[in-house]
C-alpha cells in the first residue's frame, strides 16, 4: 500500500460528524489492491493505525470494514 496522505481538516471533521450521527453514506473508494469499490455504508468510527487514519463503516448486512481515508474518492451522506 502507498504512503498515507492526510486528508484536510474540514473533511476529517465531516467524517467525525457522520460517525457521531451514524449516517449512511454512499462511498467510492479504492481497496488496498487499487480496485474501485462503491457502496452504501454506515459511518461508525475513526481511528489511527500506523500513521494512517481509517473510517470504520458497516453495510446493511452488519459486516464492518475499515477504509483508509486517503483511499476515499467520494463520500456523500444519504
| Predicted pLDDT of residue 38 | 96
Burial class (CB in 10 A: 0-12, 13-18, 19+), 15: buried
- The arithmetic mean of pLDDT across residues 10-36, rounded, is 96
- The arithmetic mean of pLDDT across residues 2-29, rounded, is 96
Q: What band does 1 get if pLDDT is binned at 50, 70 and 90? A: low
Q: Closest Cα to residue 44, out of 72, 22, 13?
A: 22
Q: Is the pLDDT of residue 6 over 80?
A: yes
Q: Pairing between strand 72-77 and 36-49?
A: unpaired
Q: Is the pLDDT of residue 27 over 80?
A: yes
Amino acid at each position: 500500500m502507498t504512503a498515507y496522505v492526510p486528508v484536510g481538516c474540514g473533511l476529517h471533521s465531516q467524517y467525525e460528524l457522520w460517525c457521531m450521527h451514524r449516517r449512511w453514506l454512499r462511498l467510492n473508494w479504492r481497496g488496498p489492491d487499487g480496485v474501485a469499490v462503491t457502496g452504501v455504508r454506515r459511518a461508525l468510527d475513526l481511528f489511527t493505525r500506523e500513521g494512517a487514519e481509517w473510517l470504520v463503516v458497516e453495510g446493511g448486512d452488519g459486516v464492518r470494514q475499515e477504509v483508509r481515508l486517503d483511499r476515499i474518492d467520494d463520500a456523500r451522506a444519504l
